[in-house]
Amino acid sequence: MNVVLPMKPAPEQPPAADAVLIEPKNADAATAALAAAPRPPVAAAAPARPDLLAPLGAFLNAVMPALLGLALLLTLWAAVAQMNPQLPGPLKTWEAAVEVFADPFYRNGPNDQGIGWNVLSSLQRVGIGFGLAALVGIPAGFILGRFRFANAMLQPVIALLRPVSPLAWLPIGLLVFKKADPAATWTIFICSIWPMILNTAQGVQRVPQDYLNVARVLNLSEFKIVTRILFPAVLPYMLTGIRLSIGTAWLVIVAAEMLTGGVGIGFWVWDEWNNLKVESIVIAIFVIGVVGLLLENALLLLARRFQYDAK
């Protein structure tokens, strides 16, 4: 027989010494009392001061590497000039530059003109040759990239002629045109056309095939395909070819003018060498570099302006 014993109730735990018992009816009064109690003051955050040195730091970070590079160049130049007295140093070249640029557009005859006229004459030849190369090279690039038969037909010809030195074409120009200026322009044309053709053709070949399939479905004409689909997609490649071509053209014109004579920065360099004015040759080197840098940066700005992919 099972006997069930009655369980004793658990003893009540006494409240802790630090515990505060709040009856439900007094809870609202306690909450109101806590809310009304004074709180310690909170210190206000100090207003942020504008960092006046931030723009100066950004400017120094952008300019200091270039200044250090120029300082290194001038130091090496001065050291080499000390070892070779025939080479003018930076100070002597600066004095000659002040004299040269005091009147850069003087004219004392057809073969005695200031450096300004010589630079403008060289730029004119480059502009004509480069413009003709763009008129021929960019459409040719579209044709090579668009039609496989034309690409297969002309690719061996381009591969054969492109490695030829631009100055090797100068005698051909003199033979055909019988004058120095057209021969120099022909040399610029032939050296500028290859980067435009190849980069434009590569851009056309990289256009997604889906775009062309949509054009076939919409029954677009070849003109609309070129202007609405190919041209926006190929423009970055085209501008890269133009930038490479202008650099090559400015590089070649100096050597071409040394051989053909006349008015131009290349002829000016050679004439100053015949007069043993080495300071003027160094000045011409810096002028050629600055003009080439300005041309390239102008085309880079143009390329960024027409970046369709970033829009």
How far is the CA of 150 from the CAs of 143, 154, 174, 204, in angstroms? 7, 6, 31, 13
CA dihedral of 97, 102, 106, 108, whole degrees rounded to 10: -70
Question: Tens digit of pLDDT per residue, the chain (311 long)?
Answer: 444 444 555 555 554 444 444 454 454 555 555 455 556 555 555 555 556 666 777 777 777 888 888 889 889 988 998 898 888 888 999 999 999 899 888 888 777 888 999 999 999 999 999 999 999 999 999 999 888 898 999 999 999 999 998 889 999 999 999 888 899 999 999 999 999 999 999 998 888 888 888 888 888 888 888 888 888 888 888 888 998 899 899 989 988 988 887 788 989 999 888 888 899 999 999 999 999 899 888 888 877 776 655 44
Cβ partners under 8 Å of residue 229, min gap 6: 207, 211, 212, 215, 220
Specify whether the backbone of 101 is left (phi greater than 0), alpha (psi in -120 to 50) or beta.
alpha
How far is the CA of 272 from the CAs of 250, 266, 279, in angstroms? 20, 10, 9
Give all domains of the chain, ordered by start, each with its CATH number.
Answer: 99-305 (1.10.3720.10)
Write out the E strands in 61-216. Answer: none
Cβ partners under 8 Å of residue 284, min gap 6: 115, 265, 268, 269, 272
pTM higher than 0.85, yes or no? no
How far is the CA of 96 from the CAs of 187, 283, 290, in angstroms? 32, 8, 18
